[in-house]
Amino acid sequence: MILVNRDTRVLVQGITGREGQFHTQQMLAYGTKIVAGVTPGKGGAEVLGVPVYDTVKEAVANHEVDASIIFVPAPMAADAALEAAHAGIPLIVLITEGIPTLDMVKAVEEIKALGSRLIGGNCPGIISAEETKIGIMPGHVFKRGRVGLISRSGTLTYEAAAALSQAGLGTTTTVGIGGDPVIGTTFKDLLPLFNEDPETEAVVLIGEIGGSDEEEAAEWVKAHMKKPVVGFIGGRSAPKGKRMGHAGAIIMGNVGTPESKLRAFAEAGIPVADTIDEIVELVKKALG
């Protein structure tokens, strides 16, 4: 597994809000080690037995924190991520969708410069199966196994994980990287981690039309990847000129088209599944 495990200590930003409280409860039930929460003006309170602080700085002064998950409204979400990075939290999971793109451009650059890793925004989070869940995904579909999973699509992530679990293959760590035009962590950023992870024997990469992340990932796979990779591209049947789904699903010229992504995968030797069930078949074939 990569990035997170059962020992990862988690801070929840926006813990007193409806979404924050609900998903804190779900994460605690999964076994996630949540040590603190932050909501400005609510310091001194408790949510589900978790102490709440006014600022991230106060929280990290009182607790060891390895990761933060953010349930903060879009206008303030990028600032919340920056607050976590400035407090020295190494991993920041940004769930919020609809964050202004210019806010994200600034935040992604600054967070990287500070040495933290941002996952998202507009993502379902990260889960190391049967160890810890830092996100909003349905934990019961993730069974411990041999396959790393990276995805731009939340729903397809859950479907692929469920199919891998039912087939007895299971997953190590699953990362939903988010579907916005500007995100903190890309396929290319995560592939090297899975490449070196002794528990991961194959990687499933679930992409979408739009952007160039899949093409860049394919180049990295071709040059460096030691383990088999299986691909899936969502939105391949989208009519030309029509934007579908995520804000990141925007095709610019010849980059981001289904054809461009399929060509890049083919050149890198990445077989592409047409259905979720075929992902399982291709992984089984790749693992022998």
Q: Are 64 and 5 in contact (CB under 8 A)?
A: no
Which positions make up the binding site? 16-19, 42, 95-97, 158
pLDDT digits (tens, 9 = 90+) for 221-240: 999 999 999 999 986 554 55
Structural domains of the chain sorted by starting position, each given as residue range(s) with its CATH number in brackets: 9-120 (3.40.50.720), 137-287 (3.40.50.261)
User: Which of 10-24, 159-173, 200-214 has the lowest average pLDDT?
Assistant: 200-214
The stretch 66-74 carries a mean pLDDT of 97
Examine the pLDDT at 245 and tell me if it is beyond 70: no
**Among residues of the chain, what percentage have pLDDT more than 90?**
85
Q: What is the DSSP string of 92-126?
A: EEE------HHHHHHHHHHHHHTT-EEEESS--EE
The stretch 178-189 carries a mean pLDDT of 94
Query: What is the pLDDT at residue 138?
Result: 96
Which positions make up the binding site for CoA? 16-19, 42, 95-97
- What's the pTM value of the predicted model, to 2 decimals? 0.92
| β pairing state of 229-234 and 272-273 | parallel
Of the pLDDT bands very low, low, confident and very high (cuts 50, 70, 90), residue 208 is confident
Residue 243 is given by DSSP the state -
Token pair in block for residue 286: 């790749």
Burial class of residue 245 in the structure, from the number of CB atoms within 10 Å of its CB (0-12 exposed, 13-18 middle, 19+ buried): middle
The stretch 245-273 carries a mean pLDDT of 74
Query: What is the pLDDT at residue 240?
Result: 55
Which positions make up the binding site for substrate? 158
Q: Is 86 a catalytic residue?
A: no
Burial class of residue 112 in the structure, from the number of CB atoms within 10 Å of its CB (0-12 exposed, 13-18 middle, 19+ buried): middle
Examine the pLDDT at 285 and tell me if it is beyond 50: yes
Query: What is the pLDDT at residue 216?
Result: 94
Burial class of residue 218 in the structure, from the number of CB atoms within 10 Å of its CB (0-12 exposed, 13-18 middle, 19+ buried): buried
User: Roughly how many angstroms between the first and final C-alpha of the chain, as a whole number?
Assistant: 21
Query: What is the pLDDT at residue 155?
Result: 86
d(CA 240, CA 221): 28
Which residues on neighbouring strands pair with residue 26, listed in sequence order? none
Q: Mean pLDDT of all residues in the chain? A: 92
Of the pLDDT bands very low, low, confident and very high (cuts 50, 70, 90), residue 181 is confident
Q: Which of 23, 140, 224, 246 is catalytic?
A: 246
Q: Classify the C-alpha dihedral 196-128-159-125 as positive or negative.
A: negative
Query: What is the pLDDT at residue 239?
Result: 52
pLDDT digits (tens, 9 = 90+) for 93-144: 999 999 999 999 999 999 999 999 999 999 999 999 999 999 999 999 999 9
Angle, CA of 1, 194 and 85, to the nearest 5°: 75
DSSP3 helix / strand / coil % (the chain, rounded to 5): 35, 25, 40
Amino acid identity, position 86:
H
Query: What is the pLDDT at residue 235?
Result: 62
Of the pLDDT bands very low, low, confident and very high (cuts 50, 70, 90), residue 209 is confident
d(CA 46, CA 284): 47
